[in-house]
Amino acid sequence: MQYRRLGRSGLQVSELSLGSWVTYHNQVDVAAAREMLAAAFDAGINFFDNAEVYAGGQSEVVMGEALKALKWPRLNYIVSTKFFWGLDRDGQAANRKDTLNRKYLTQAIDGSLKRMGLDFIDLVYCHRPDPFTPIEETVWAMSDMISQGKALYWGTSEWSGDDIRAAWDIAEKHHLHKPAMEQPQYHLFHRQRVEQEYARLYQDIGLGLTTWSPLASGLLTGKYRNGIPEGSRGAVKGMGFLIPELTDTAKNAAVAQLASIAVDLGCSLSQMAIAWVAHNPKVSTVITGASKLSQLQDNLGAVDVIAKLSPEIMARIDQITTPLL
């Protein structure tokens, strides 16, 4: 496992990391989480991603209990969470959902710290942009989290390049803690934001990337070529919105072609797809997910594939995938 700086910060994150979206609480209990966190840590992973909204806060609880049981020195691992959606999804719930205002953010960080049983969280993200709250208000609130010792670095997730730059400029103007990282979706069929929209930000402000969904929610494993298999992410309650993408005929045909390249590389299709994301030097870490240990172990094999992605192999992959972007 190699380690990369998180953008222009001094923090070093493992090139692969482990996330909890969909899986924790829904498919993974504390015992399974502890087993997979231990396996990931033993393989060199030091970053574990979470969010307030995952499983209505229970994902943070599961991860926190597993970390407590593992008793690792706090300096040895990095934990994240994200704020925006809130926990009260029903009813009006003013100031409790779909916002990045100061009132919500100030209380959201305290809730996450309590659920995870931590004194501070390493990385905190604004999970989505909030068009109804001035960016300046959000920047001050996020910077205050760091000044108060409740978080170490803050960033954004699925923000536009213009909004990230605006937030950075506000922080620069007022000598506040600047956004250090963005968490965008990035995989073979979803590239524009990372490769084009953010292009100036890597050099101009030193933006780091902690990318999610390298397997396109499982599409790039090949498991959806014949529909939605039982026990898969597409079959999980509340994940129905993924089905049109997972069963897309053209993309599944492309996945079948990609499988032959993986065979030539001597790796699984999943490993090749994850390695492709990590091959981009702008990516600080690739967040992977797993509902069982065998999936995690297969994903970890991607670290040995990164160096095998020669210009010729990358060109073959592009020939298959770029027509579908």
Catalytic residue IDs: 54
User: What type of residue sits at position 62?
Assistant: V
210 bridge partner residues: 285
Q: Is the Cβ–Cβ distance between 85 and 53 less than 8 Å?
A: yes
Question: Cα–Cα–Cα angle for 270, 271, 275, nearest 5°?
Answer: 120
- 160 CB-side CA count, 13 A: 6
User: How many helices (H) does the chain have, and how many strands (E)?
Assistant: 12, 10
CA separation for the pair 48, 77 (Å, rounded): 8
- What six digits make up the tokens of 158? 């699925």
| Backbone torsion region of residue 255, taken as left when φ is above 0, otherwise alpha when ψ lies between -120 and 50, otherwise beta | alpha
- What six digits make up the tokens of 90? 């029903």
DSSP string, 81-121: EEESS-S--SS--TTTSS---HHHHHHHHHHHHHHHT-S-E
101 CB burial (10 A radius; 0-12, 13-18, 19+) = middle
